[in-house]
Amino acid sequence: MKPIQILTGLLVVILFTSCEKDIEFTGEIVDPMLVINSFITPDSVITANITKSKFFLDENDDSGNFITVENAEVRIYVNDVFKEKMSYISNGNYKASFAPAIGETIKLEVSAPGLNTAWCETKMEDAAQIIALDSTSKITKSYPISNGYYDETPASGTEDTIGYYYKIRHDFSLHFKDQESGQNYYRLLVKLVISDEGNYNFESYDFDFTDIVSGESSDSEDNIVSESIYPNTYHVFSDELFNGKEYPLKFSVTTEQIKYLPKNASMEGSQPTLKIVVELQSISKSYYLYLKSRPSCDIEDIFAEPIQIHCNVHDGIGILGSYTSCGTKELNLSF
């Protein structure tokens, strides 16, 4: 056996042996804390999910799930004035009787027997002004269709061609006016709707966020990891590069479409219609930081540094975020 093979074999044995070694925990056991998760918007009443954290080495519960809290007292304050207590629904979910208004600061104060009282707050941000949605389309690939199939390398002759398959890149520019007061944060939502005369309706959320603002912010206070390592999965961005100005936000969508030749035009009716629905949300800074830090937890590198998801709950764990829809724009992607 060659020396390099012997060395490789020894390394494999050592690695597998080390994976089975018991390691004694010498740290401090953390007491359970209240976990608050709530995302609020002026479009609906306030809801919150209240659970209790558990120690990761707890032998009495190996489910990996937090424990729902059914007897919590959840108090809501609006601009530091007590408003009401939320009603318990089920599975740790609590519900208020009102929706927040733009400009209000909403505070949740949660207490439960045997746990420290936790609280969190967020401000309802005003919406930016959407001006227009412009688009251009470009064919990136095309193949002839023969007998119902398309071939990337078709045989010579077009006598059997009934139409063409196209792969099309649609580039969009969403023009909107940023708010002039302070730093603002946004989230872009894009939905591709494919429908066939009511027979089916398919929605896809995949799109390319190509704009420069999707990169890492230079604001050191954000303490956000590099975008080159952790992608902008939730398509959030700040107004750092265009504060108080009008801005054309760039993104793109790739679709696949079929176009029949005139002699087979009767088959056009069987093709689904495509529509793009774009929504821009104005989000709170805490919600922005939470969505920026969350993709880091999906990295499966065992040697990676542990990264904490952003939390704005005091004396507890979780997130209270807010968002306001700036409106939606729709375009048909007919070709």
pLDDT at 114 over 50: yes
Domain co-membership, 76 together with 174: no
Domain membership of residue 53 (yes or no) is yes
Domain membership of residue 60 (yes or no) is yes
At 20 the pLDDT is 43
Q: What is the DSSP letter of 9?
A: H
- How confident is the model over 204-253, as pLDDT tens digits? 778 999 899 987 444 434 444 344 456 788 999 999 999 999 999 999 99
Picking from 93, 123, 153, the residue at the C-terminal end of a domain is: 123
Domain co-membership, 77 together with 162: no
Q: Which residues contact 219 (CB under 8 A, 6 or more apart)?
A: 183, 238, 240
* Total count of domains within the chain: 2
- How confident is the model over 76-85, as pLDDT tens digits? 999 999 999 9
Structural domain boundaries enclosing 272? 129-282+325-332
Chain position carrying tokens 């089920």: 90
Three-state DSSP state, 18 = helix
What are 226's two structure tokens?
């590099």
Picking from 98, 123, 148, the residue at the C-terminal end of a domain is: 123
Residue 297: pLDDT band with limits 50, 70, 90:
low
Instruction: Report percent pLDDT > 70 for the chain.
Output: 70
Q: Range with the lowest mean pLDDT among 37-46, 84-93, 160-169, 258-267? A: 258-267
Domain co-membership, 112 together with 192: no
Question: Minimal CA–CA distance to 66: which of 39, 92, 38, 30?
Answer: 92
Q: Which pTM value belongs to this model?
A: 0.79
- How confident is the model over 119-154, as pLDDT tens digits? 999 999 999 999 999 999 999 998 888 765 555 555
Domain co-membership, 181 together with 74: no
Partners of 257 in the β-ladder = 166
